[in-house]
Amino acid sequence: MKNTYLRSYLPIISILLFSLFFAVYGEMQMLKLFGDLGIYQGMLEFFLKPASSWRC
């Protein structure tokens, strides 16, 4: 079955674009909140450590 109408793809395209926009917006808001609370700097220090210094 082949879909020959381009306009029939618009609903899925709009859903994907909205989801992408909402994900980026939410991530930016979380980074802003973490920065205001002072958590972001600690997260950077934790995740930027070299993996060789971690011991299990």
For 1-21, write each residue's pLDDT tens digit. Answer: 676 677 788 889 999 999 999
8 Å CB contact between 23 and 29: no
The whole-angstrom separation of Cα 34 and Cα 14 is 30
Q: In whole numbers, what is the pLDDT of the chain averaged over residues?
A: 85
Tell me, what's the pLDDT at 41?
87
Tell me, what's the pLDDT at 25?
98
The residues near 35 (Cβ < 8 Å, ≥ 6 apart) are 41
8 Å CB contact between 43 and 35: no
The whole-angstrom separation of Cα 26 and Cα 32 is 10
Note the pTM of the prediction, 2 decimals. Answer: 0.63
